[in-house]
Structure 1
């Protein structure tokens, strides 16, 4: 099968490319660095010629609702339009567990993306996953001011990016199935505890400050609403196991 990966150089995307290639598929990666821009559509038509399935793991790092909504609206509309023109038969998209009812930030953008996919005219599959293990070093990077790391009080169930990639490639192979079961990691954890373990592993001496975020999303973080419900698929690799990998060591500079 010919598969194109939107966001193929990102945290999950590079794993998707590797997994799909190892399974014998003909795989192409689409990113700005490779001459394809989802936001303005540059290079999309050429990149999708002869492609049978698209796996969309593109994204944006922002806390701005407007930037997130604008990105996912433009990127998804452009991608689906180009898929129609190229005759793509299946669109697979990655989203985030627990975002129903979100009205702000990245989660609002992902809800817009899901809606575009459902009504975009291309047979689709949608997989929601929890945050990846790499979310922890990112939270440290974003939350660090001097010797202090501020992180939201939050229950999370982190999953290996590789396992998410495997699930996405399996979804592409299986054909359009609509919303498939959510995927989460093997353990529910407190984000602050994961940050503490990451700092210790990477030799960083910082004080952790837990912040109680306001609004519906802050409540969802604290209540466990962002972890999968019963019946979800469960990954294998724990966060502590990921910490022992070379991939985690590379995150100390993130």
Structure 2
């Protein structure tokens, strides 16, 4: 099967590419280094020639709802348009658990992405997952000021990026299925404790201050809106297990 991966050089994308190749699929990485610009659409039509399924795990580094919506709108419309031209029969996108109950900040773009996919003509599958284990390191990097890390009060359910990639390729090997069961990590964690654990694992010192974010978005971060329900599927690698691999 010829599989194209949008965002194939990102946190989960590198695993998607790896898993697909391990299973014998021919992989096309949609990236600027390969002559493809997802935001402008340049190079997409040629890149998707002969492709059976597109796995979209593209992302952007922003907390702005406006910027996130602009990015995901442009990328999704461009990819879907190129899929129609190339005759691709399956569009598979990775989304985030809880975005419709907290359609703010970065999540606003993911909501729009899902809406565009559902209204398109290409048969689709959407998998929503919780944040990756790597999210603790990312949020610490963005929210640190010298020795102080100001971390939002948040309930998370981190999952291994590799396990998300494996589920995505499972779905890519099947017919389009619409919205499938959510995928979350094996247990819930407090983001501040995750950041503290990550800092210890890498030998970093400093103070982690947990602060509640005001408004509906902050409330969703605290009240469990962004973790899975009872009918979801769950991975097996805990954040603690993942940390053990970081400290080696």
Measured against the shorter chain, the TM-score band is over 0.9
Cα distance in 2 between the residues matched to 1:215 and 1:32: 37
What is the deviation of 1:223? 0.6
Hey, what does 1:10 align to over in structure 2? 10
Cα distance in 1 between the residues matched to 2:92 and 2:10: 16
Cα distance in 2 between the residues matched to 1:101 and 1:200: 33
| 2:99 counterpart SS class | coil
Hey, what does 1:241 align to over in structure 2? 241
Hey, what does 1:45 align to over in structure 2? 45
Hey, what does 1:126 align to over in structure 2? 126
What is the deviation of 1:101? 3.8
Cα distance in 2 between the residues matched to 1:57 and 1:196: 28
| 1:244 counterpart SS class | helix
TM-score, normalised to structure 2, is 0.98
| Unpaired segments ≥5 residues, structure 1 | none
Stretches of 4+ aligned residues off by more than 4 angstroms: none
Cα distance in 2 between the residues matched to 1:243 and 1:209: 20
Hey, what does 2:162 align to over in structure 1? 162
Hey, what does 2:210 align to over in structure 1? 210
CA deviation profile, 1:89-139 (whole Å, cap 9, x unmatched)? 000000000111434211000000000111111000000000000000001
Cα distance in 2 between the residues matched to 1:101 and 1:131: 16
Cα distance in 2 between the residues matched to 1:69 and 1:129: 19
What is the deviation of 1:7? 0.5
What is the deviation of 1:249? 5.4
Number of positions where the alignment pairs a residue of Structure 1 with one of Structure 2: 248
Q: Report the RMSD for the aligned CA atoms in angstroms.
A: 1.1
CA deviation profile, 1:163-201 (whole Å, cap 9, x unmatched)? 000000011111100000000000100001111111111
1:102–1:111 contact (8 Å) kept in structure 2? no
| Unpaired segments ≥5 residues, structure 2 | none
